[in-house]
Structure 1
């Protein structure tokens, strides 16, 4: 999942990075196929080059290795909302068929208090204004749901035309990479379609792990296995090792 998410950044120049799985993928891309990729975090760091995976957007490693550190208002007003960033990379607690995101609250059922999540952070603005959005999360019925418990971040809304109607600048989500495969929005309906599976995964597995009637591409590809170089770079990141040239 992380390797394929990193590969999805091929050809990108700037990436607004969410913490967690998106950060792992973006940092892996910078250490492998995209060494010149500029990583931007909402805490105000431009061009961060961490030697390990940051614990949060406030991790001092991001500032210590950045080309520049600016204010949060400048990050959002000048860089993000002005459309100056190629790719936004987000995670999610829940995703629906139109790649809308919930990271705010989970309905835990009758008689139970709602489950509180970290919240929106910069995700709504990232999804609104970056040139395109990539998403990465684990694939289960708990995460891929028919209806979000709360709409934190708009992906493709309720279908074609919603982003334009809302005045959102960017293209929106172009791929959702999971531990089972890759889903992409249909050009006509904007609904997520299974286009690739990872080696050893079957299409019925993905269908069973999805909380709606998942659409399947006419031809479902199989992703390339991770290379030894990609695995070594990822392990170094996770262990805190520094493999920078």
Structure 2
């Protein structure tokens, strides 16, 4: 259900579509599973048909008909232009500077774009053990830019993350440069309520656009740090009919396939 039922779309749909819009036809995008994968494939199915989607398992130019459950989902290999070994994927493609956008999600995120997907609580006695980093730490440092997408909530957007899985802007400012990391790092955060960009100097994420029907108060109420707003905050354009239909059709196909009602029926 939508928090703003009169708008005809849900906050999650707005988030996914807003994230899809920032991708360009000539991008080479290293895709995370979940919300990033949905956004990237909506872009591919609408305004960016030639975007190159790369998944961690080694699939290059993946064009899945349904959203993958994991990086090892056969749908990725079936639809990819080619599949390379994981070492080649990381050394040649990612560390070789051939990936323009790394698209990541987060369990915990701080205002400088540092990501935790490892543990909640103490590392040795965690409250929750998360899936871990996988390739995300390397994606975060080697992709030319990082886009992050996640639903807002005080449990996820925190003043201090419990574990540094993927390095964003560290303590802010020129921290990346001081560590010898030459890529731009997180340049965009898209949540279900707003679009954020890092301040040019401090690198603290700042709200630049509110989604339709969302107030500043709502953004602050679901964020664990004191939110900074840009001098002129815009309103995110609402999803178009084509964008919504593309996303909903993709999700419907995915749901059917994962229920075993796939494209092929066995007699």
Q: TM-score, normalised by structure 1?
A: 0.94
Deviations 1:192-230 (A, max 9, x none): 111111000001110111111111111111000000101
2:32 maps to 18
Quote the Cα distance in structure 2 between the aligned partners of 1:95 and 1:106.
12
**Paired residues of 2:25 and 2:50 also in contact (CA < 8 A):** no
The CA deviation string for residues 27-75 of structure 1, in whole angstroms up to 9 with x for no partner, is 1100011100000001000000000111110000000000000000000
- Asked if the contact 2:149/2:191 (under 8 Å) is kept, the reply is yes
After TM superposition, where is structure 1 displaced by more than 4 Å over at least 4 residues in a row? none
Once superposed, what is the RMSD of the aligned Cα atoms? 1.4
The question of whether the paired residues in 2 share the 8 Å contact of 1:135 and 1:176 is answered with yes
Out of 206, 210, 217, the residue aligned to residue 197 of structure 1 is: 210
**Count of residues in Structure 1 that have an aligned counterpart in Structure 2:** 239
Q: Secondary structure at the match of 2:152?
A: coil
What is the CA-CA distance between 1:169 and the residue it aligns to? 3.1
Cα distance in 2, alignment partners of residues 22 and 223 from structure 1: 18
Instruction: Give the distance between the partners of 2:152 and 2:60, measured in 1 at CA.
Output: 31
Matched, 1:167 2:180: yes
Query: What is the distance in 2 between the residues matched to 1:194 and 1:11?
Result: 26
Alignment match of 1:93 (pick from 93, 102, 107)? 107
1:44 partnered with 2:45: no
> Counterparts of 1:29 and 1:113 in 2: how far apart (Å)?
37
Q: Compute the displacement of 1:11 (Å).
A: 5.0
- Whole-angstrom distance in 1 between the partners of 2:94 and 2:136: 11
Q: State the alpha-carbon separation in 1 of the partners of residues 137 and 49 from structure 2.
A: 28
The answer as to 2:111 corresponding to 1:104 is no
- In 2, the alpha carbon distance for the partners of 1:83 and 1:169 equals 11
Match of 1:149 in 2: 162
The structural deviation recorded for 1:80 is 0.1
